[in-house]
Amino acid sequence: MKYFIGNWKMFGVPKSINILDKVNSFHKKDKNRKKYRVIFTPPFTLIESYAKFFKNKKILIGSQNCFQKDRFSSNTAAISPYMIKKVGANYTLVGHSDNRSEGDTDAMLKNKVFFALKNNLKVVFCIGENKIDKRNKKTFSVLKKQLISILEKKLDKKKIIVAYEPVWSIGTGKIPTKIELQKTTIHIKKILKKIFGKKSPAVLYGGSVDGNNVKMFREIKEIDGFLIGGASKSAKKFIDIIKNYYR
């Protein structure tokens, strides 16, 4: 199963649902539809209405983050995994580089993953090296640390997806070379197999994915799908990515 996940970040109002509706209409008629899953992570403000609208359809809704506690607490503006699940989301991102740079620590990420899974949300756990790590040839060690500090065998690997998003690639138009990305994805899967045993959870790529460069990414068979930022705000651009992936 492949994944195409659209992460809207700080974008969208109620009527932006027409973007998802167009993607849904495409998906309904696509001959390849059984091969992949489409998930969108709109901002918190839209999760409930979008999840209701797509309840019996194929598009799934997730949140972009969750708070590191279970249900209710006295943390102003915080939203827990329980609350997210209760308004109809099935997934949550955890550890996006935007949130890491705003102060997500390993201890917080560990709790986020734990409580999200406890509340039956599937977790898309984001990792990625920054420009300096890359320049210093630290990519592999940084990714390893990000994985082993949070993920452990007791977690349900069937509910975990890992998204590799090099920070230097997010929103920049810069992407890794094919060889680089293949090696890195294999490295990530090797570590995941060490943690979880035989079969690795799905590993996605994210960072400036568009309808054009997806033709290169699709040649890397280790990649199980994509986490798409900018291009997910346009139905046409998002659909082009899927179309060109299966072309």
Catalytic residues: 96, 165
Closest among 75, 76, 72, 109 to 92, alpha carbons compared:
109
Strand ranges for 30-188 from DSSP E: 36-41, 60-63, 91-94, 122-127, 160-164
Contact call for residue 229 and ligand 13P (CB under 6 A) = yes
Reading the block at residue 229, the tokens are 């930022």
| Interface stretch with ligand 13P, choices 10-18, 71-79, 176-184, 201-209 (CB under 6 A) | 201-209
Contact call for residue 12 and ligand 13P (CB under 6 A) = no
Q: Rounded to the nearest whole angstrom, what is the least distance from the CB of residue 166 to ligand 13P in the complex?
A: 10
Dist CA 182 CA 191 (whole Å): 14
Q: Rounded to the nearest whole angstrom, what is the least distance from the CB of residue 154 to ligand 13P in the complex?
A: 27
| Interface stretch with ligand 13P, choices 73-81, 136-144, 183-191, 227-235 (CB under 6 A) | 227-235
Among 209, 223, 239, 242, binds ligand 13P (CB under 6 A): 209
| β-pairing verdict for 2-7 and 36-41 | parallel
- Contacts of ligand 13P in 86-105 (CB under 6 A): 96
Q: Tokens 């917080």 belong to which residue? A: 108
What are the φ/ψ torsions at residue 70 (nearest 5 degrees)?
A: -75, -65
Rg (alpha carbons) of the chain, rounded to whole number: 17
What residue number has its CB nearest to ligand 13P?
Answer: 229
Dist CA 244 CA 216 (whole Å): 10
Q: Which is nearer to ligand 13P, 24 or 64 (CB)?
A: 64
Binding mask 140-179 for ligand 13P (x = CB under 6 A): -------------------------x----xx--------
Q: How many CA atoms lie within 13 A of 172 on its CB side?
A: 13
Among 42, 81, 166, 207, binds ligand 13P (CB under 6 A): 207
Identity of the amino acid at 166: P
DSSP annotation of 10 reads S
Reading the block at residue 99, the tokens are 């949130």
Contact call for residue 230 and ligand 13P (CB under 6 A) = yes
Contact call for residue 80 and ligand 13P (CB under 6 A) = no
Q: Rounded to the nearest whole angstrom, what is the least distance from the CB of residue 174 to ligand 13P in the complex?
A: 9
Q: Rounded to the nearest whole angstrom, what is the least distance from the CB of residue 229 to ligand 13P in the complex?
A: 2
Q: Rounded to the nearest whole angstrom, what is the least distance from the CB of residue 124 to ligand 13P in the complex?
A: 9
Dist CA 48 CA 46 (whole Å): 6
Contact call for residue 228 and ligand 13P (CB under 6 A) = yes
DSSP annotation of 200 reads P
The binding site for ligand 13P (CB under 6 A) comprises 7, 96, 165, 170-171, 206-209, 227-231
